[in-house]
Amino acid sequence: MKTAYLLLGSNLGDRAATLQAAVTELGRSAGRVTAASGLYETAAWGLTEQPAFLNQALEVQTHLTPTQLLAACQAAEQHAGRQRLVRWGARTLDVDILLYDDLVLDTPTLQLPHPRLPERRFALLPLAEIAASVLHPGLRRTINELLAECPDELAVTLHETQPEG
Catalytic residue positions? 82, 91, 94, 96
SS (H, E, C) 28-73: HHCCEEEEECCCEEECCCCCCCCCCEEEEEEEEEECCCHHHHHHHH
Nearest to 117 by CA among 89, 152, 82: 152
DSSP states along 88-114: T---S-EEEEEEETT--EE-SS-EES-
- As a whole number of angstroms, the distance between CA 9 and CA 69 comes to 17
CA distance 22 to 47: 23
Give the whole-angstrom CA distance, residue 109 versus residue 67.
Answer: 9
H helices, E strands: number in the chain:
4, 8
